[in-house]
C-alpha cells in the first residue's frame, strides 16, 4: 500500500486553492454581476436666472447600472437621482451634463441622454383675447348665436419666441344635436411652457329656434260644469301666454292658442288641471307645450249675480289646428 506524504506547504497551497474555488462559486456562480436599466425622473438644480425660461428638458432619463445580483435585488427607479444644473445658464443654447447618483455598490455605466442641449429664452407676459368657435350643428330647426366668453381676455406668460406671434387664444365648443343653450367652464388650450391667468373661462353658446316667433295668449277650453250647488267663477291659464314658432305667414294669421278640452263635470272646489296646447296648422313648436288651468269655483247664492267670468263651453270653433 502506497502512502502519500504531504508537506505543510502542500497542505497550505491546497487550502488556499479550495478557498479560492469556493469564493468563485459563491461570488460568480451564485451571485453574478449583472447590468440593468432604470427610467429615472429628471430633476433640476440651481437657480434659473430671473426672466428666463428653459426648453429641452426631458421628464426622465435612462440609467444603466452594473452590480451583483444581490445588490440589484429590490432596487427601484426611485432609489436613483438624476439632475441637471441650471445655475448660471445664459440666454440661447446651452449644453449641460446629466448627473446621476446610484445606490451604494452599483456602478453607473451609461446615462441616456448623457448631455442636454437646452435653450434659454426670455420670459414675457401679454394680454390675449379669448375667442370661442363652435363645432357641429344644432338640432334641426335651431340655430346657434355668437358665443359669449367671460372673461374676454387673459394674461399669459411664457417664452418670447412662442408668445410674439400669438395673437389670440381659441376654444372649441361642440353644439352637435343640441336644442338648448350650452354653458361650460373650459380650460384654455395653451402652447407648451405657457401659463394663463385665469386658466379657465366661461363660455355660453345661445341656441334658439331658427324660425321667427310670436307671443300669443292661451285660451282655455273646457266642458261640463261644477256639481250643485257650485258655479264656476273663473279659469286662469298658467302661464297666460306662450311663445309660438312658425313661418311669418302662419304667425300673421294667429291671435290665440287653444288648449285641449278639459272636462270639469262635478268638481266641488278649486282644482288645477294640466292641459296640452293644440298645435295650429303650420306651427312648428310652442314653448311651453303644456299649461296648467286653475278652475276656481264658489257656492251658489240665491241672489248671486252672474259669475265674474261667465263660463263658456269652449268646445266650439277654434283656430285651425293639427292634433299632435
The string of DSSP letters for 189-232 reads: P--TT-EEESSEEEEEE-EEESS-EEEEEEEEEEES-PPTTEEE
C-alpha dist (Å) from residue 39 to 65, 77, 99, 112 = 11, 6, 14, 10
Q: Which three cell numbers stand for residue 65?
A: 447600472
Q: Give me the residue spans of the domains in the chain.
A: 30-113, 123-209, 213-322
| Region 299-309 average pLDDT | 63
**Sole residue written with cell 426670455:** 122
pLDDT single digits (tens) 264-286: 999 999 999 999 999 999 998 88
- Greatest Cα pair distance, the chain, in angstroms, is 156
Q: Is 296 helix (H, G, I), strand (E, B) or coil?
A: strand
- Asked if pLDDT for residue 263 goes beyond 50, the answer is yes
| Region 75-84 average pLDDT | 94
Looking at residue 14, what is its pLDDT? Answer: 66
DSSP per-residue letters across 226-290: PPTTEEEEEEEEESSEEEEE--HHHHTT---EEEEEEE-TT--S-EEEEEEBPEETT--EEESSE
Q: How far is CA 2 from the centre of its chain?
A: 94
Q: Which three cell numbers stand for residue 144?
A: 346657434
Using 50, 70 and 90 to split pLDDT, how confident is the model at 109?
very high
The region of weakest confidence among 116-120, 219-223, 226-230, 315-319 is 315-319
Beta 115-135 vs 92-97: how paired, if at all? Answer: antiparallel
Using 50, 70 and 90 to split pLDDT, how confident is the model at 74?
confident
Domain 123-209: which CATH number of 3.20.20.140, 2.30.40.10, 1.10.10.1100, 2.170.120.40: 2.170.120.40
Looking at residue 304, what is its pLDDT? Answer: 55
| Region 81-96 average pLDDT | 91
Using 50, 70 and 90 to split pLDDT, how confident is the model at 300?
confident
Using 50, 70 and 90 to split pLDDT, how confident is the model at 6?
low
Mean pLDDT (the chain, rounded): 85
- Asked if pLDDT for residue 247 goes beyond 50, the answer is yes
* Cβ atoms 38, 20 nearer than 8 A: no
| Region 36-50 average pLDDT | 91
- Asked if pLDDT for residue 44 goes beyond 90, the answer is yes
pLDDT above 90 as % of the chain: 55
* Cβ atoms 123, 51 nearer than 8 A: yes
| Region 239-256 average pLDDT | 92
Looking at residue 278, what is its pLDDT? Answer: 94
Q: Is 15 helix (H, G, I), strand (E, B) or coil?
A: helix
Beta 169-174 vs 115-135: how paired, if at all? Answer: parallel
**CATH superfamily of domain region 213-322:** YbbR-like domain (2.170.120.40)
Q: Is 7 helix (H, G, I), strand (E, B) or coil?
A: coil
Rounded Cα distance, 110 and 37, in Å: 9
DSSP per-residue letters across 69-127: HHHHTT--GGG-EEEEE-TT--SEEEEEEPEEE--TT-EEEEEESSEEEEEEEEEEEEE
**Sole residue written with cell 448660471:** 88
Domains 123-209 and 213-322 share a fold: yes
| Region 311-316 average pLDDT | 44
* Cβ atoms 279, 239 nearer than 8 A: no
The region of weakest confidence among 100-104, 163-167, 318-322 is 318-322
| Region 35-42 average pLDDT | 93
CATH topology (fold) of 30-113: RNA Polymerase Alpha Subunit; Chain A, domain 2 (2.170.120)
pLDDT single digits (tens) 151-206: 999 999 998 888 988 899 999 999 999 988 899 999 999 988 899 999 999 999 98
Amino acid at each position: 500500500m502506497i502512502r502519500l506524504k504531504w508537506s505543510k506547504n502542500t497542505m497550505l497551497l491546497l487550502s488556499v486553492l479550495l478557498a479560492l474555488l469556493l469564493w468563485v462559486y459563491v461570488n460568480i456562480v451564485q451571485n453574478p454581476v449583472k447590468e440593468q436599466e432604470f427610467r429615472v425622473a429628471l430633476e433640476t438644480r440651481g437657480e434659473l436666472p430671473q426672466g428666463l425660461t428653459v426648453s429641452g428638458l426631458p421628464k426622465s432619463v435612462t440609467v444603466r447600472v452594473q452590480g451583483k445580483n444581490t445588490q440589484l435585488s429590490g432596487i427601484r427607479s426611485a432609489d436613483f437621482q438624476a439632475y441637471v444644473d441650471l445655475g448660471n445658464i445664459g440666454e440661447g443654447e446651452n449644453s449641460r451634463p446629466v448627473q446621476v447618483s446610484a445606490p451604494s455598490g452599483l456602478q453607473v455605466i451609461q446615462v441616456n441622454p448623457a448631455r442636454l442641449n437646452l435653450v434659454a429664452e426670455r420670459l414675457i407676459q401679454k394680454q390675449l383675447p379669448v375667442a370661442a368657435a363652435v363645432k357641429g350643428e344644432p338640432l334641426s330647426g335651431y340655430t346657434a348665436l355668437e358665443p359669449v366668453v367671460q372673461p374676454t381676455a387673459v394674461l399669459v406668460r411664457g417664452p418670447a419666441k412662442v408668445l410674439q406671434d400669438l395673437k389670440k387664444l381659441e376654444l372649441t365648443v361642440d353644439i352637435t344635436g343640441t336644442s338648448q343653450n350650452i354653458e361650460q367652464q373650459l380650460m384654455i388650450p395653451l402652447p407648451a411652457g405657457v401659463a394663463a391667468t385665469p386658466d379657465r373661462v366661461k363660455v355660453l353658446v345661445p341656441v334658439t329656434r331658427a324660425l321667427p316667433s310670436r307671443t300669443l295668449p292661451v285660451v282655455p277650453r273646457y266642458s261640463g260644469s261644477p256639481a250643485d250647488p257650485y258655479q264656476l267663477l273663473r279659469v286662469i291659464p298658467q302661464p297666460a301666454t306662450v311663445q309660438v314658432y312658425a313661418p311669418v305667414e302662419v304667425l300673421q294669421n294667429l291671435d290665440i292658442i287653444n288648449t285641449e278640452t278639459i272636462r270639469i263635470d262635478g268638481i266641488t272646489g278649486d282644482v288645477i288641471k294640466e292641459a296640452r296646447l293644440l298645435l295650429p296648422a303650420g306651427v312648428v313648436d310652442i314653448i311651453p307645450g303644456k299649461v296648467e288651468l286653475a278652475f276656481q269655483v264658489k257656492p251658489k247664492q240665491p241672489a248671486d249675480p252672474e259669475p265674474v267670468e261667465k263660463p263658456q263651453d269652449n268646445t266650439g270653433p277654434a283656430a285651425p289646428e293639427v292634433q299632435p
